[in-house]
């Protein structure tokens, strides 16, 4: 018997947002991942198709971030033995710093919730999505999963408690993201970080984080721009990305409010006060990589207010 299916989308995200390492993220409109899910006469969850992955993600249910998230949800609602087929369509780059594994995990659990007519509220899906993301990142943090699921700019007070708060996105705020076609593993990017920081740097970074949040609430782009300065993580990771300093300088010269590494990299993102600046910033960033003979993809997006959705 052929069963009709549903299709969902979960967007890419920018983790850290310069001043909020592991505790802040924002959702983009694109790229993202799609999942098609349908009931099946054969018991259990199965992955029947994977596209766009170039053989790089497992089709085994217990090893795939999307299906692990889905299974944890199904177990919670008592439907783990139900026959379900899913197709995973990867439409974003791997190891890009854009939350690829998080988008898959979100799409997996969101699809199950839609398939079963929404037994849980959207916010209640977060713990299951985090389980899928944890499989890939080997760390528990929701700075990509939460915005991909919920949309907007998300602040995470505590990752273990999944105490998340939505921050306002001022009208006109744009994200410009450039993905150089090189890869940096998250484990490598985390491996360069010093676990000890000075008290002075902690105070300075706390001020920048607070200033950024206040700037969002007040739609004060000047304050946002003054606050978007990472003195803790960026200096340690910048050397992993060829041309990073030149790309950042190019963005700032075109009027970006701030520019830094998206998540663990190698993608670099900038925030701007309007679409005109965002487009000029994108052209300038891309030119630097072109001159370095590094291919790149460019995405320009408002802050996605919705997150995951069903088509």
- Summarize the confidence of residues 296-304 as an average pLDDT: 97
270 domain-assigned: yes
Measured CA distances, 31 to 79, 207, 288 (Å): 31, 32, 22
Residue 186 among the catalytic residues: yes
Total domains present in the chain? 2
- Summarize the confidence of residues 22-34 as an average pLDDT: 97
Q: Which domain holds residue 223?
A: 174-302
> Do residues 139 and 212 share a domain?
no
The pLDDT of residue 171: 96
The pLDDT of residue 225: 98
> Do residues 48 and 164 share a domain?
yes
311 domain-assigned: no
Q: How many CA atoms lie within 13 A of 117 on its CB side?
A: 0
Rounded CA-CA distance 259/270 in Å is: 4
Does residue 2 carry a pLDDT above 70? no
> Do residues 102 and 138 share a domain?
yes
pLDDT in tens, 54-68: 878 888 999 999 999
Does residue 53 carry a pLDDT above 90? no
Query: Peptide bond before 31: cis, by omega within 30 degrees of 0?
Result: yes
Share above pLDDT 90 across residues of the chain, in percent, rounded to a whole number: 88
> Do residues 111 and 163 share a domain?
yes
73 domain-assigned: yes
> Do residues 279 and 218 share a domain?
yes
> Do residues 183 and 162 share a domain?
no
Q: Are 25 and 126 in contact (CB under 8 A)?
A: no
Backbone angles phi, psi at 93, to 5 degrees: -70, 155
> Do residues 117 and 208 share a domain?
no
3-class DSSP state for residue 14?
A: strand
The pLDDT of residue 163: 97
> Do residues 112 and 129 share a domain?
yes
Rounded CA-CA distance 61/184 in Å is: 26
**Which residue of the set 133, 134, 176, 234 is catalytic?**
133
Rounded CA-CA distance 303/311 in Å is: 19
50 domain-assigned: yes
> Do residues 139 and 238 share a domain?
no
Does residue 1 carry a pLDDT above 60? no
307 domain-assigned: no
3-class DSSP state for residue 130?
A: helix
309 domain-assigned: no
pLDDT in tens, 102-112: 999 999 999 99
Point out the least confidently predicted range of 57-61, 74-78, 135-139, 219-223.
Answer: 135-139
Does residue 37 carry a pLDDT above 70? yes
Q: Are 251 and 178 in contact (CB under 8 A)?
A: no
**Residue 141's domain is classified under what CATH number?**
3.30.230.10
The pLDDT of residue 54: 82
> Do residues 210 and 103 share a domain?
no
Residue 128: closest CA among 149, 114, 143: 149
- Summarize the confidence of residues 175-191 as an average pLDDT: 86
308 domain-assigned: no
Bridge pairing between strands 296-302 and 174-180 = antiparallel
C-alpha angle 30/36/41, rounded to 5°?
A: 170
Q: Which of 113, 145, 168 is the last residue of a domain?
A: 168
> Do residues 130 and 229 share a domain?
no
pLDDT in tens, 194-218: 999 999 999 999 999 999 999 999 9
Q: Which of 115, 133, 168 is the last residue of a domain?
A: 168
Q: Using 50, 70 and 90 to split pLDDT, how confident is the model at 304?
A: very high
**Which residue of the set 85, 176, 186, 234 is catalytic?**
186
283 domain-assigned: yes
Q: Which of 168, 193, 212 is the last residue of a domain?
A: 168
Measured CA distances, 52 to 57, 143, 243 (Å): 10, 24, 28
Q: Are 234 and 226 in contact (CB under 8 A)?
A: no
pTM: 0.95
- Summarize the confidence of residues 76-88 as an average pLDDT: 96
**Residue 271's domain is classified under what CATH number?**
3.30.70.890
> Do residues 135 and 27 share a domain?
yes
3-class DSSP state for residue 105?
A: helix
């Amino acid at each position: 018997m052929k069963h009709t299916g549903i299709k969902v989308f979960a967007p890419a995200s920018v983790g850290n947002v310069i001043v909020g390492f592991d505790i802040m993220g924002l959702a983009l409109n694109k790229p993202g991942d799609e999942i098609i899910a349908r009931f099946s006469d054969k018991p259990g969850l199965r992955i029947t198709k994977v596209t766009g992955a170039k053989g790089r993600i497992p089709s085994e249910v217990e090893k795939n971030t999307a299906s692990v998230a889905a299974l944890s949800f199904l177990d919670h609602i008592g439907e783990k033995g139900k026959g379900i087929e899913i197709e995973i369509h990867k439409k974003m780059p791997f190891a890009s710093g854009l939350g690829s594994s998080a988008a898959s995990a979100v799409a997996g659990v969101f699809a199950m919730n839609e398939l079963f007519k929404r037994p849980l509220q959207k916010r209640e899906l977060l713990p299951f999505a985090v389980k899928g993301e944890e499989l890939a990142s080997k760390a528990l943090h929701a700075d990509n999963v939460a915005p991909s699921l919920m949309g907007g700019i998300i602040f995470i007070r505590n990752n273990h408690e999944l105490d998340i708060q939505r921050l306002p996105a001022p009208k006109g705020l744009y994200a410009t993201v450039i993905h150089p076609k090189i890869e940096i593993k998250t484990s490598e990017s985390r491996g360069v970080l010093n676990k000890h920081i000075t008290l002075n740097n902690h105070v300075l970074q706390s001020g920048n984080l607070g200033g950024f949040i206040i700037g969002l609430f007040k739609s004060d782009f000047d304050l946002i721009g003054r606050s978007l300065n990472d003195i803790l993580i960026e200096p340690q990771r910048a050397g992993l990305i060829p041309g990073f300093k030149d790309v950042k300088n190019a963005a700032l010269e075109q009027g970006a409010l701030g520019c830094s590494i998206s998540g663990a990299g190698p993608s670099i993102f900038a925030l701007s006060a309007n679409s005109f600046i965002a487009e000029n910033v994108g052209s300038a960033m891309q030119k630097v990589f072109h001159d370095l003979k590094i291919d790149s993809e460019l995405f320009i997006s408002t802050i996605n207010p919705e997150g995951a959705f069903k088509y």
